[in-house]
Amino acid sequence: MGIDPTHQLVILARLSEFCEFRRHAWQDSEPWAYMRRKLRETEPPLASMKSELLAATSKKLLEEIQAGGLDAERCADFKTLFERLLAPGDFADLAIHLEPGQDPKRMHEFCGQILRHVKPHHAFIEEAKPAGGRSPAWEKLVAELQRRVGIDDLDRMLSRKPKTARRRAYVLRRLRRNVAEYCTVVRIPKDPHDTFTPFMLPRIEGLIAANLRFLDKHR
């Protein structure tokens, strides 16, 4: 199964619209609501993309095991891929079988059983959990993105000073600029043939979550 490049392009389009409110102001006069909506519109393509990635990665894993098993490097490669696609508990169940030196037949059987019952995991599923129930690794990633795009500073600005219309407008301009700069620095791919890397995809999800938390808190 291939990966439909449309999903990635839609995610990038929504992020671009998020950063360019002024170009689309005729659609919505309230930037706070507009920016929240654009981020939330990334959920369907993100869910579809991760579903296709999980199916393709699962197929590749089982094929390689059947062809003769995995060495340490390929086990590590697949762990990196599946960690980005599965919920923490499901990943832990799979990871214990992704070790070199195992009998390929048994590895194929156990991995196949697990992969038939798991579902793709993404930012919106994790964010729907209560704050105390989220993965520590996920919270660490979101906190990193909050710092990278200056959300911590903007949050303090709105928390300690009156939320005047002028200050809110200034904060949103800063946020849009910071997010646009971050996307440029990390070289988010725009060509449909250049898919998000295992490094890039969770950071896109963390970026979406970090901004939504901020916008939801101060709307």
pLDDT tens per residue across span 171-200: 999 999 999 999 888 777 666 667 777 788
Domain presence at residue 32: no
CB burial readout 125-164, b (16+ within 10 A) else e: ebbeeeeeebeeebeebbeebbebbbbeebbebeeeeeee
CB burial readout 85-108, b (16+ within 10 A) else e: bbbeebbebbbebbeeebeeeebb
Supply the pLDDT for residue 106. Answer: 94
| pLDDT tens for each residue of 72-127 | 999 999 999 999 999 999 999 999 999 998 899 999 999 999 999 999 999 999 99
Quick check: 201 and 84 in contact, CB under 8 A?
yes
Supply the pLDDT for residue 196. Answer: 79
Supply the pLDDT for residue 40. Answer: 97
pLDDT of residue 59 exceeding 80? yes
Domain presence at residue 35: no
Supply the pLDDT for residue 29. Answer: 61
Supply the pLDDT for residue 32. Answer: 87
- For residue 104, give its domain range: 48-117
Supply the pLDDT for residue 193. Answer: 66
Q: Structure pTM?
A: 0.90
Quick check: 107 and 97 in contact, CB under 8 A?
yes
Domain presence at residue 18: no
Supply the pLDDT for residue 183. Answer: 87
Domain presence at residue 52: yes
> Could you give the number of structural domains in the chain?
1
Domain presence at residue 86: yes
| pLDDT tens for each residue of 8-41 | 999 999 999 999 866 655 455 688 889 999 999 9
Supply the pLDDT for residue 184. Answer: 86
| pLDDT tens for each residue of 120-172 | 999 999 999 998 999 999 999 999 999 999 999 999 999 888 888 889 889 99
Domain presence at residue 194: no
Helices (H) and strands (E) in the chain, counts: 11, 0
Domain presence at residue 219: no
Q: Where are the alpha helices (DSSP H) in 30-103?
A: 31-40, 43-66, 72-83, 88-95
Helix, strand, coil tally for the chain in percent (to 5): 75, 0, 25
Domain presence at residue 97: yes
Chain mean pLDDT for the chain = 90
